[in-house]
Amino acid sequence: MSASSDPNSTVRAQDSMGDLKLHLREVIAEPTDLIKKGTAPPPYFFAFEPSGRSQEQAQKFAALLGGSALARIFAGMNLVRSNPDHSGGDETSTTRHYSLSNPREYVAAFNEKTEAAINAFTKGPLASMYRPCDGGATASQDLECTRAELHDMVLPRIFGGLDQVGKAHLAELDKVLTRFTAALKPFQVSTTSDSQDGHEGYGGSQPLPELKHAVVVNYVKSIDITGGSGGIYVHKPYTRVAIFSVKPQHWASALQKPTPSQQGPTFTSASEEAEAAEVANHHNAADAAAATGKSVIGSLSGLFGGKPKPKPPKPDERIKFTLNTTILELEFDDAKYHANKAKFEGIFKGMAEEDEELGPIAESGGLHALGRSTCMIYQAGEV
């Protein structure tokens, strides 16, 4: 029997498409909503939209959004390929996915999605549209600082050197980071791969791999080719991929998590809870206070016989934190994107057909609309 006439092959193909749709629905969801369900969100994509002083700028930015949409699609494909046990991608899917609710799967849950996104930009068909350029760097730093100071150290590594990002942006981005970390506080992360629960993800008691996160930043760089005398600009689209890796025990300490031997989440300070609640949610403003549910869970654990955990350490407590950072600065080939755009538009529309969430996006604007749905977009500062 040929592969094309094998009914099992047809079912596997349908299941793979279902899983791909599931991953795409995740990228348009509010990340903290996924976290509440025990699902690691895909990496954050940010985009800084030019003020629109030129049509060329707008065109370059639109191409970047299309590129982001393709990156999400190819990252989804990478995830499907990495998990051959496809059992359907709908709500009743039994496909094996790592869960944040299992401390021993926490690292793998994030790492698989981080690596899938990185590989979308650096390997495969999409990589030919992104040319590595000067500005990339790798660094490792041993820090001893307060938890609040960590934010001040992380954000410049992601957005540093970008004229499009001002102080007001950084204040808003700090709130996004606060909300993300606050949503993760009810979950525990194991610092070894001991598999007492029978999980086969990592065998033995060896240290876990480092926890990886990635952040993607899209921006249009305007260059005055007259050196400032004539005001003639060339506009180029860029994508920055900021990759972080940390030891699981350092990550757990930074989030003030209990160890796996403890039960229940720690309480959250009132000031941090209030700050997380006020964060502007770009995907769904009604869920702006979603991350604060953790304090309710902590209270309930006390009501039902659980011993309330101590309050988090004082804000001025200093922790040790080794932060490894890799920055990929990529110039986007928008000409190559437009040359292949029609083909990819057709693939996306066929994939999204009859899907309640993806279908309207495909019909309203195709890849451009998907890019807007999957990026957190800010108005760029004047360059």
Task: Give the separation between CA 315 and CA 303, rounded to whole angstroms.
Answer: 27
Per-residue pLDDT band for 134 (boundaries 50, 70, 90) equals confident
Task: Give the separation between CA 119 and CA 105, rounded to whole angstroms.
Answer: 21
Overall average pLDDT of the 205-231 stretch: 84
pLDDT of residue 303: 30
The answer for 161, left when phi > 0, alpha when psi is -120 to 50, beta otherwise, is left
For 161, residues 6+ apart whose C-beta sits below 8 A from its C-beta are 135
pLDDT of residue 259: 39
Overall average pLDDT of the 243-258 stretch: 84
Map out the domains of the chain as residue ranges. 13-191+207-285+331-379
Closest CA to 185 of 111, 268, 262, 301: 268
The predicted model scores a pTM of 0.78
Q: Which residue has the tokens 């108005």?
A: 379
Confidence check: pLDDT of 64 > 80: yes
pLDDT of residue 225: 79
Per-residue pLDDT band for 230 (boundaries 50, 70, 90) equals low
The answer for 99, left when phi > 0, alpha when psi is -120 to 50, beta otherwise, is beta
pLDDT of residue 327: 96
Length of the chain: 383
Averaged pLDDT score across all residues of the chain:
79
Output the six-digit token pair for 70.
């393709």
Evaluate whether 163 touches 331 at the Cβ level (below 8 Å): no
Name which residue leads in pLDDT, 338 or 292.
Answer: 338
Output the six-digit token pair for 265.
């989440």
Q: Which residue has the tokens 């029609």?
A: 342
Annotate 112-139 with b (16+ C-beta within 10 A) or e (fewer). Answer: bbbbbbbbbbeeeebeebbeeeeeeeee
Lowest mean pLDDT among 32-46, 82-96, 185-199, 311-325: 82-96
Q: CA torsion angle for 35, 78, 114, 165 (degrees, to 10)?
A: -100
Confidence check: pLDDT of 167 > 60: yes
Extended strands (E) in 190-253: 211-224, 233-246
